[in-house]
A and B are shown apart, each in its own frame.
Chain A
């Protein structure tokens, strides 16, 4: 084996080790979550800490539904997230197409405004937003959450979808035009099918951000049945002073809260197969 090859192999080993280290660091909290969710309440704080509990408490996964209110949280989270994703995609796919391929007056300033709008945290405008929602009578409804989540995800998703649409060569648009496609038909018949991959990724991002959203769900929703799953978990954390914090139930709930995300990812994985525009204009 000559020297250069040897060096290359050493570098490869280091890369692999580095990536493995990253994976360990990233998976550590998740492993801790699953581990605690399988412990009995008296084992949670046992010293020394064990990864695999002495008695595996599978019954946590059933009990959490009866002892804590999680089901309502699931229902409202699913409703809010589903409607939000539909709204975001309905608005953002045409918007990203316009930013990417059409020419119109004041395009650049508008694009920058959209970009800048995502810099300002919802927290710093929460007071005016609360007053607005209150005067529209939308406090404690799903509608308020859907509106807010849609608003604050729009900019980010537009950014993502624009870069996806930018990868589609503009000759495709010209070809469609010659064959008599209107702008809207170009979008729906060509761009959406061709960039399924990017749209799937955007859906995953929108889903994660909406599903994990805490601020609005916590501020706007006051009646228990309408609370989203994240807020339900927070309530379990804060509202059980008699029991102490039931960490095993919190973690079990957290495991349940990650399930929809994993399911969505598995469902959508088939779409993430590759770029269909490769070689479109050859």
Chain B
């Protein structure tokens, strides 16, 4: 297998990794913190750059490097989460007011009711749908970049984003109706 040896020239790799790290560490850390509890997020972000070092020769240059790192981060988080055996809880945790996950991030985000509502709605969607929505809305990625993160074609990512937005919209409408019904004394 081609990966049996240490990738590239060691010193060169080391330099490139440090440069990548300086440029992208906050973005990668933020990606992880948006999706996992603080300790998991730090662990995951560090692991992302470990993978980056090992595969330094595979990392695309320039703007394409960050989507590549996000793709690795996604897998790292999935692994961490899989070891907890319930991958979708990551997002439930993220969306849950009471859970420590997001509350323990250093930012101490005070979440508005409106934000909570949309996160609750997103938590009802399948994981793959949520991820395209988040990549687009939070990381601000283009269709092409989303496709790079998820390892799919640009057309497929565009389709998936469309579908996910429809589903989120539907879920939001449903909760709005539920809230209205509750306000007016319910049905």
A and B associate: no
